[in-house]
Amino acid sequence: MRMTSKGQVTIPLELRERFGLGPGAEVEVVAGDDGAVVRPAVARARGAEVVSRLRDRADGGLDAEAVLRLTRGDVD
């Protein structure tokens, strides 16, 4: 398999059929121990994607209890 100057590769027909990959199918490339692994992308809920992007970005100094109090309207 050869990569084009645009970084594109053609997935063999047998594998596309086996994994149900057609035009417009989403795939992801994951770093593995022996190189890159191309696999069908797992559809994630929009909320899960937002949480994933925001994870570990907060630095407001609030613990879980403080966040719960704020979301419930219990403000000290």
Instruction: Indicate the number of domains in the chain.
Output: 1
Closest CA to 28 of 19, 12, 39, 15: 39
Answer whether residue 70 shows pLDDT above 80.
yes
**Whether residue 16 has pLDDT greater than 70:** yes
d(CA 10, CA 12): 6
**Is residue 41 assigned to a domain?**
yes
Read off the pLDDT band of 75 (50, 70, 90).
low
Rg (CA), the chain: 21
Segment 31-69, tens digit of pLDDT: 989 999 998 887 766 777 777 877 777 777 788 888 888
Does residue 36 fall inside a structural domain?
A: yes
12: pLDDT confidence band, cut at 50, 70 and 90?
A: very high
Domain that holds residue 45: 1-54
Distance CA 5, CA 57 (A): 36
Provide mean pLDDT across the span 12-19: 93
Residue at 44 is within a domain: yes
Residue 62 lies in a domain: no
Go through the chain and tell me how many residues it has: 76
